[in-house]
Structure 1
Amino acid sequence: MCILSTKKTSIKLPNTLTKILKLLQEKGAKPILVGGCVRDHFLNLEIKDYDIEVFHIEDFETLTKYLEQFGKVKLVGKSYGVLKLSVDKQEYDFALPRVEKKIAKGHKGFEVISNSYLSFKEAAIRRDFTINALGYDFINEEILDPFGGLEDLENKTLRHIDDNSFIEDPLRVYRAVQFASRFDFTLDEKSFDLCKKMVSNNDLEELANERIFEELKKLFLKSTKPSVGFELLKELGILKYYPELKALIGCEQEPEYHPEGDVWIHTLMCLDEMAKIKTNDEYKDLVLFFAILCHDFGKPLCTKVIDGKITSHKHESLGIEPTVSFLEKLTNDKKLIADILPLVKYHLSPFQLYLHNSSDKAVKRLALKVDIEMLCLVCLADCLGRTIEDKCKCHEAISWLKNKASQLEVTNSGPKAIVMGKDLITLGFTPGVLFKEILDYAFDLQLDEDLPKDLIIEKIKEKYIKG
């Protein structure tokens, strides 16, 4: 990572944003790009979000009038006063400089005072970390760095700015975790101690689940090494809120299959492997990361030594209950949870089918329970997330199942029944208990014997129609 040492630099901006900034300057305002867009420029990352603080302007009404010349403007985050401008399929966030004061619990418990005549340093002290307190003066092509953020970027250090403002929002502890993970940075010693103190003081208990979920989501989707963040969760003592994760620490595994160590170590290795093979579809990847995080939650419930071997029989099915318990602490999204659970329950199936060279019908029945393409990714991360020597078998097993599923056309969903209720009505049956029995019988013939529809109908007649 190369960090520019000079404070004179040029950040390439979208043409429309350049025009807006020049207009604001002509009107006597001083627009400064702030936060993640400046940080990401120096990290050589793609800039996706642009935040601009506008100094030396009278009020929001005046700013809105100028911005409306370029596109649709709406006020969001009412308490913080952020104007979102939509133009050319891009959104830009504009705000006046402000100071914040904590007056009540929760992320809405702040008194916000906008003041466009603050100095940049006065306005930036409310931010969490030095690397997020950088500014870019577009007009003068100058980087504003009041707290040493450039040096911290160079040293790969995550350092908070101010003790008093930092502790006002406990979410910043989770933000420390996700930033350290995303950028593979080390949390500064004083920042680490402050975060740990906040955890010890139970400050995190006021946080809404959905805010925590969003930080974990960023950790998963934007990190190349999610293990860094989860190890930091452990070191800071945050796992006291997640006993399902804490139970993995010290849960031993059979060295023949898991020479890397306990379930915690294995799980962190799996997370890093998932980061390498993710799909880049945001929803799918979120499902995959949570599935691999939870895939061995059942092991602490059943691990025992039998004949000198460490075993965890049925851990995949036993993991469902703690997985639900864990996920419900973070989200109310029932579809997300429902999509994760079968990946946990059947994460061993690809290897089991491969080792037994299972039949087509076994693959079809598996496809009725779980998305095989997604399951293969979970299984692959599980296999690669260990220090075994022969990892070629990981890819062999997955390729075998993927090829089978593709041939059978059940990669993402199970086979559809070819004999339907209307077919039974045509044969003279009426809906009822027997109706379902016959449909199940027909579907079994379809799956297990691969019979076409006309032969299945004949079998139904032979079995259920007398005379």
Structure 2
Amino acid sequence: MYKKLIREIWENNGEAYLVGGWVRDRLMGATEDEIKDIDLEVMGIKREKFEKILQKYGKFKKVGKSYEIYILNNSIEISFIEAKTSIKECARRRDFTINSIYYNLIEDEYLDFFGGIEDIKNKLLRYVDKNSFLQDPLRILRTAQFISRFEFSVEDSLEKIIIEEKEEILKVPKERICRELEKIYMLGIRPSEGFLFLEKTGVLEKLMPELSSLKEVMQDRIYHPEGSVFKHTMMMLDVLSKEERTLELFWGILYHDTGKKETFPGFSGHCEKSQEIFDREIIKFTESRELIDSVRRLVRYHEEPLKMLLKGGADRISVKKLAVKVDIDKLLKLYRCDVLGRGRSDNSEELDIIESIGAVYQKIKNDLKPIVRGKNLIEWGVKPGENFGEILKELYEAQLEEKFENIKGAREFYFSNLAVGLVYKGI
């Protein structure tokens, strides 16, 4: 569809070029079906005529202040300049040379003014223009994203200006920072490389001081021969395949051990402390209550599989009680990252407990729905009141401990164990 749009713009005396990710990814060997980012640069056509053409291809909206952008069908991004403009000057305002290459579909011709094609061959990140690069400080994080995503190296001059201008990243809205950090993990071949670059340039210390400071916290060499908590965390980022990664796991990995600095050297209670730090820090990046609640649970309970291992294994009751507190599937993935994200050669016991917990969970996951409801208590003669919540809580705890398995057993348990105690309490 976008190819027809391009041709029609040229037929109406305008100019339209494919730019950015489409061109870069094509030059890196991706097929057109594999390329998801469709970015166009349109110029030299009257706005009224341009918008009339766009209407044929779907719905569009305009965004942006410094540079006007049209979004077509929520998928195609079009930079629009009404006047005839130098393509080279348009390319100059782009971030990296590898993103400054223009493709003329009509002529089947690449326009490369700043050596982007050669940089792709050499797997090198260079800025196009120092002044334009700094106009959007988010490009600091995009550098880290491309390092992890494409395994490119960074030209010294680019690294230097990031070090010099790292404070600028704090001017970027938190939502944009959050999305770019998440891209480092979700799109990266080796996400750790992106974060190591941010640490090297001092950017990570500005954004995540609690994480950056973990490089000073050393661990027991028997269980963590890799050394510092920071190195362990970086290794964890690379464990899962792209298909397995989620945003909850990303934030869980970053913050799961942040409490170890305050609980050094024994690390007792570090899970609880890590959750406190996460709760305090995550609001700098997102306000998504669903994401925050899911991650804080992962951080709080990330050592539970190890505790089960030390107690002799996974049993039904322990897994049930854990499953009502945290998403077991995500917890086991986080624990797998924890186990494999270190320098030990033999992790068989920990991997076995992951498999064991997973097997038990598959057997009990349908038994977690509360058997007793408020209407059942009323049927048993309990008057509605503040005690309802307490009674239901105690009954659910008994259900998880398998003291009954149906409503009949629940009623018998209530009258045998709870009713007398509630009367004694004056309820």
- Structure 1 distance, partners of 2:64, 2:264, is 49
Query: In the alignment, does 2:35 pair up with 1:69?
Result: no
**Displacement of 1:326 after TM fit?**
2.3
| DSSP 3-state at the match of 2:57 | coil
**TM-score, normalised relative to structure 1:** 0.84
- Structure 2 distance, partners of 1:224, 1:394, is 25
Cα-Cα RMSD = 2.0
Query: In the alignment, does 2:409 pair up with 1:455?
Result: yes
| DSSP 3-state at the match of 1:248 | helix
- Structure 1 distance, partners of 2:99, 2:334, is 34
**TM-score, normalised relative to structure 2:** 0.92
8 Å CA contact 1:25–1:31 kept in 2: the answer is: yes
Q: Deviations over 1:402-459 (max 9, x none)?
A: 110001126xxx8121011111111111123443333233223211134122122012
Distance 1:464 1:122, change over 3 A: closer
Larger deviation, residues 364-373 vs 20-29: 20-29
Query: In the alignment, does 2:98 pair up with 1:131?
Result: yes
Distance 1:73 1:449, change over 3 A: closer
8 Å CA contact 2:256–2:271 kept in 1: the answer is: yes
8 Å CA contact 2:23–2:103 kept in 1: the answer is: yes
Task: Find the counterpart in structure 2 of residue 263 from structure 1.
Answer: 229
**Displacement of 1:225 after TM fit?**
0.7
Task: Find the counterpart in structure 1 of residue 254 from structure 2.
Answer: 293
Which of 53, 67, 75 is the equivalent residue of 1:91?
75
Larger deviation, residues 357-366 vs 436-445: 436-445
Q: Which amino acid aligns with 1:440?
A: K
Q: Which amino acid aligns with 1:454?
A: K
8 Å CA contact 1:212–1:330 kept in 2: the answer is: yes
Q: Which amino acid aligns with 1:228?
A: E
Distance 1:463 1:325, change over 3 A: closer
From the two aligned structures, give the one with the greater helix fraction: 2
Q: Which amino acid aligns with 1:288?
A: L
Larger deviation, residues 348-357 vs 117-126: 348-357
**Displacement of 1:278 after TM fit?**
4.6
Q: Deviations over 1:76-95 (max 9, x none)?
A: 33653222222xxx732223
| DSSP 3-state at the match of 2:239 | helix
Structure 1: any 5+ residue segments left out of the alignment?
1-15, 97-113, 305-310
| DSSP 3-state at the match of 1:425 | helix
**Displacement of 1:219 after TM fit?**
0.9
| DSSP 3-state at the match of 1:428 | coil
- Structure 2 distance, partners of 1:134, 1:240, is 33
**Displacement of 1:115 after TM fit?**
5.0
8 Å CA contact 2:47–2:82 kept in 1: the answer is: no
- Structure 1 distance, partners of 2:243, 2:356, is 20
- Structure 2 distance, partners of 1:141, 1:172, is 30
- Structure 2 distance, partners of 1:300, 1:421, is 45
Query: In the alignment, does 2:20 pair up with 1:32?
Result: no
Task: Find the counterpart in structure 2 of residue 402 from structure 1.
Answer: 358
- Structure 1 distance, partners of 2:99, 2:72, is 22
- Structure 1 distance, partners of 2:348, 2:119, is 40
Task: Find the counterpart in structure 1 of residue 113 from structure 2.
Answer: 146
Task: Find the counterpart in structure 1 of residue 176 from structure 2.
Answer: 211
Task: Find the counterpart in structure 2 of residue 423 from structure 1.
Answer: 376
Query: In the alignment, does 2:209 pair up with 1:243?
Result: yes
- Structure 2 distance, partners of 1:464, 1:234, is 56
8 Å CA contact 1:72–1:85 kept in 2: the answer is: yes
Query: In the alignment, does 2:306 pair up with 1:341?
Result: no
Task: Find the counterpart in structure 2 of residue 308 from structure 1.
Answer: none
Q: Which amino acid aligns with 2:76?
A: Y
| DSSP 3-state at the match of 1:93 | strand
Distance 1:403 1:465, change over 3 A: closer
- Structure 2 distance, partners of 1:349, 1:166, is 46
Which of 197, 218, 221 is the equivalent residue of 1:252?
218
Query: In the alignment, does 2:11 pair up with 1:55?
Result: no
Task: Find the counterpart in structure 2 of residue 316 from structure 1.
Answer: 271
**Displacement of 1:369 after TM fit?**
0.5
Query: In the alignment, does 2:311 pair up with 1:327?
Result: no
Identity, in percent, stands at: 37
Query: In the alignment, does 2:179 pair up with 1:194?
Result: no
Number of positions where the alignment pairs a residue of Structure 1 with one of Structure 2: 415
Structure 2: any 5+ residue segments left out of the alignment?
none
8 Å CA contact 2:18–2:104 kept in 1: the answer is: yes
| DSSP 3-state at the match of 2:41 | strand
